[in-house]
Amino acid sequence: MSSGGETRVIPLRLAAFAYPEGHPLAGQAGVVYAYAIVSGRGTILYDTGIGFGNDWVDRTLRPNTRDVREALLEAGISPSTVTRIVHSHLHFDHCGQDRSFPGVPIFVQRSEKKAAMEPGYTINAWVDFPGARYELVDGDHDLGAGIWILDTPGHTLGHQSMTIESTEGLVVLAGHAIFSAAEYRGEAPPAESSEPARASGERLRALHPARVYFSHDDATCP
- Distances from the Cα of 64 to the Cαs of 12, 14, 70, 168, in angstroms? 14, 8, 14, 30
SS3 184: helix
Spans of all domains in the chain: 8-213
Options 3.40.50.1390, 3.20.20.30, 3.40.50.300, 3.60.15.10; CATH of 8-213: 3.60.15.10
List pLDDT tens digits, range 47-88.
Answer: 999 999 999 999 999 999 999 999 999 999 999 999 999 999
pLDDT in tens, 161-215: 999 999 999 999 999 999 999 999 999 999 998 999 999 999 999 999 999 999 9
| pTM, 2 dp | 0.95
